[in-house]
């Protein structure tokens, strides 16, 4: 890392100069030149190239400076929901481009924290296996407990030197930038940028506290202690400090390496299902989730302790999570309103959908909720039945039509970014990308239905009042014929006159149809706000 890393004044000035340049660029091109006659369309057409160029400059700056700059770039690279692809695509490389600290420097930190390394380890590899913005990891081997057993293979995570001071300087500069951004009214009305930065800062300091990361790992392991398909590495607390973590070496297949996954007879679609299941459990049941699911933190390991038939089955596997420094928590009111949102989309109830978004804080005070409800009703009808990948690439003509129909909403744009969604939205966006890579035809609604219904049933058990009966009814509000079949079955009046083989085929067909329907429902839920945000980017022509 450059000497700028420890030059506090130099770092501070460089961050301010860089972001000041971006702000001046926006003022000059998008607020001044764009308004000149005959130049508006040219400015809009050149915007992707200009943003890609600035994103490239930021990526190079982050790699050189390290610290918060890399962490910020990694965060922005995952915000595909609100940032143009020219920015997110350019910054994605920051997940793997972090330069390591020279071994002689990082080993000095290790010796300060643990003392004589030969009293703990057989060896520690000088070459790091991973370098991150706040620390880096080296493989090693613990001294054997007994003479008859080899020492256990471990990974040693070591904090970068002076990283706390670097974080303080970088955050101080970014706080100034946040105040500058708030002067731009369209942003200032919709997002409390300083508050979002403070939440970002809190998470950063939690990542710097390795003691907190150890506790996070222990809690995560306890959550999935009863699940032999999810695993978190063991932590060797006796070798850990506030700046060093020693954990079990769980070397395995990177979750995005689909070629290797299929080569060992693991079905990538099953991996995608397990990732979704794990995250729905964390978010909707535990309300405590791994907030940094980038490919370097999730691995797949084939199981050799379970018998399976290669002719008819895929290889059993374990989904491994590592790095528990960035964990998210879902406030109760957010979790409750997310459930309401999903139910309203299931019923194509635009009114209840608007209410759920309102309660989650997506609308500015004074927003025309009736008009927003009209827009969401149209969106629900238009996107119903489409796959997530189709929705991620909307038809430009259709976007233009929607923009014309709801020009008043887009011009006023009464939407804001709720503070509680900063890490939840990031994690969900990253998970969505992972599962889409593993299985483009995935049906995430199965997981939503599974956890939503389970939670509502638990509420019914706690207090089976009429209100709770009404809450669960939407999940059972299937189309008329299916509802009548359900009622007949509940009353004992449903008779099936068919062979077991024929019944099995029929049930399989029904299951596939319901899966397709549920997939479409989820796609609608996940894209509504993103579509509105996308439409906003279609600037009003001069």
Write out pLDDT tens, residues 66-105: 888 988 887 777 665 567 778 888 887 776 678 899 999 9
What is the chain's mean pLDDT, rounded?
A: 78
Q: Which residues contact 333 (CB under 8 A, 6 or more apart)?
A: 359
282 occurs within a structural domain: yes
User: Which candidate, 378, 389, 421, 366, places its Cα nearest to that of 535?
Assistant: 378
| Whether 271 and 296 share a structural domain | yes
| Whether 399 and 479 share a structural domain | yes
431 occurs within a structural domain: no
Q: Could you report the per-residue pLDDT of 259-305, keeping only the tens digit for each?
A: 999 999 999 999 998 998 899 889 878 989 999 898 889 999 999 88
349 occurs within a structural domain: no
Share of the chain above pLDDT 90, in %: 34
Residue 321 host element (H or E): strand 317-321
Tell me how crowded residue 282 is: count the other CB atoms within 10 A of its CB: 23
Q: What is the DSSP letter of 39?
A: T
Q: Could you report the per-residue pLDDT of 320-331, keeping only the tens digit for each?
A: 999 999 898 888
| Whether 136 and 77 share a structural domain | no
286 occurs within a structural domain: yes
Strand 327-329 versus strand 288-290 pairing type: antiparallel
351 occurs within a structural domain: no
Greater pLDDT, 405 or 246: 246
Q: Could you report the per-residue pLDDT of 199-214, keeping only the tens digit for each?
A: 888 888 988 999 999 9
216 occurs within a structural domain: yes
Of 171, 189, 207, which closes a domain?
A: 207
Q: Which residues contact 477 (CB under 8 A, 6 or more apart)?
A: 346, 347, 483
pLDDT at res. 148: 80
CB 141, CB 151: distance < 8 Å: yes
pLDDT band at 316 (very low <50, low <70, confident <90, very high): very high
State which of 57-71, 166-180, 198-212 shows the largest mean pLDDT. Answer: 166-180
pLDDT at res. 200: 84
| Whether 397 and 507 share a structural domain | yes
Q: Which structure tokens are listed for 316? A: 């059993």
The pLDDT of residue 410 is above 90: no
Q: Per-residue pLDDT averaged across 50-57, rounded?
A: 91
| Whether 389 and 447 share a structural domain | yes
344 occurs within a structural domain: no
| Whether 169 and 300 share a structural domain | no
Cα separation, 260 vs 253, in Å, equals 7
Q: Per-residue pLDDT averaged across 438-447, rounded?
A: 69
| Whether 181 and 216 share a structural domain | no
pLDDT at res. 372: 87
| Whether 215 and 258 share a structural domain | yes
The pLDDT of residue 402 is above 60: yes
Q: Per-residue pLDDT averaged across 313-326, rounded?
A: 94
| Whether 180 and 43 share a structural domain | yes
pLDDT at res. 320: 97
pLDDT at res. 495: 43
Alpha-helix residue ranges (DSSP H) falling in 384-421: 388-392, 396-405, 407-412
| Whether 33 and 150 share a structural domain | no
Q: Could you report the per-residue pLDDT of 353-385, keeping only the tens digit for each?
A: 888 888 888 888 888 899 888 888 887 777 665
Greater pLDDT, 517 or 191: 191
| Whether 171 and 155 share a structural domain | no
Of 329, 353, 387, which closes a domain?
A: 329
CB 423, CB 282: distance < 8 Å: no
Count structural domains, the chain: 3
Q: What is the pTM of this model?
A: 0.75
Of 329, 349, 370, which closes a domain?
A: 329
Cα separation, 327 vs 220, in Å, equals 10
| Whether 22 and 114 share a structural domain | no
Q: Which structure tokens are listed for 122? A: 């057989």
Full domain range(s) for residue 134: 103-159+209-329
142 occurs within a structural domain: yes
DSSP letters, 173-209, are HHHHHHHHHHTSHHHHTT--HHHHHHHHHHHHHHHH-
Q: Tell me how far apart the terminal alpha carbons of the chain are, to the nearest angstrom.
A: 47
């Amino acid at each position: 890392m450059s000497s700028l890393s420890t030059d506090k004044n130099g770092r501070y000035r460089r961050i301010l100069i860089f972001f000041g340049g971006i702000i001046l660029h926006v003022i000059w091109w998008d607020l001044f030149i764009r308004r000149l006659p005959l130049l508006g369309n040219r400015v809009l057409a050149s915007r992707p190239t200009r943003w890609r160029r600035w994103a490239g400059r930021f990526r190079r700056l982050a790699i050189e400076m390290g610290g918060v700059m890399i962490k910020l770039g990694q965060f922005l690279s995952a915000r595909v929901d609100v940032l143009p692809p020219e920015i997110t695509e350019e910054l994605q490389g920051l997940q793997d481009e972090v330069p390591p600290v020279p071994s002689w420097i990082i080993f000095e930190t290790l010796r300060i924290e643990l003392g004589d390394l030969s009293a703990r380890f057989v060896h520690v590899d000088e070459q790091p296996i991973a370098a991150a913005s706040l620390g880096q990891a080296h493989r090693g081997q613990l001294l054997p407990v007994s003479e008859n057993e080899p020492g256990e293979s471990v990974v040693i995570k070591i904090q970068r030197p002076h990283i706390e001071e670097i974080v303080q300087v970088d955050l101080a500069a970014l706080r100034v930038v946040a105040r500058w951004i708030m002067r731009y009214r369209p942003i200032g009305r919709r997002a409390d940028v300083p508050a979002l930065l403070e939440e970002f800062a809190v998470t950063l300091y939690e990542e710097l506290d390795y003691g907190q990361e150890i506790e996070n790992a222990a809690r995560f392991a306890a959550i999935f202690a009863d699940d032999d398909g999810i695993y978190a590495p063991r932590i060797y607390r006796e070798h850990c400090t506030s700046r060093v973590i020693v954990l079990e070496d769980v070397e395995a297949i990177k979750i995005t390496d689909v070629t290797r996954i299929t080569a060992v007879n693991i079905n990538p679609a099953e991996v995608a299902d397990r990732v979704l299941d794990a995250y729905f459990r964390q978010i909707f049941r535990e309300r405590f989730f791994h907030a940094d699911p980038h490919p370097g933190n999730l691995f797949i390991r084939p199981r050799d302790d379970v018998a399976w038939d290669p002719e008819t089955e895929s290889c059993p596997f374990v989904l491994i999570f590592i790095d528990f420094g960035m964990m998210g928590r879902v406030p109760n009111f957010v979790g409750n309103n997310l459930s309401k949102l999903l139910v309203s989309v299931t019923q194509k109830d635009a009114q209840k959908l608007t209410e759920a978004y309102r309660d989650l804080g997506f609308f500015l005070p004074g927003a025309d909720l009736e008009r927003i409800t009209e827009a969401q009703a149209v969106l629900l009808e238009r996107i119903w039945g489409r796959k997530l990948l189709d929705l991620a690439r909307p038809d430009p003509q259709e976007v233009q039509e929607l923009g014309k129909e709801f020009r008043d909403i887009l011009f006023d744009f009464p939407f804001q970014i709720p503070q509680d969604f900063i890490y939840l939205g990031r994690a969900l966006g990253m998970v969505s990308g992972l599962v889409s890579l593993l299985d483009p035809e995935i049906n995430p609604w199965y997981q939503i239905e599974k956890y939503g219904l389970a939670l509502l049933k638990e509420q019914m058990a706690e207090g089976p009042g009429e209100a709770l009966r009404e809450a669960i009814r939407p999940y059972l509000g299937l189309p008329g014929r299916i509802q009548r079949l359900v009622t007949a079955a509940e009353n004992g009046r449903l008779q099936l006159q068919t062979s077991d083989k024929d019944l099995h085929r029929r049930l399989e067909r029904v299951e596939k149809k319901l899966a397709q329907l549920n997939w479409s429902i989820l796609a609608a839920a996940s894209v509504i706000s993103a579509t509105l945000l996308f439409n906003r980017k279609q600037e009003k022509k001069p």
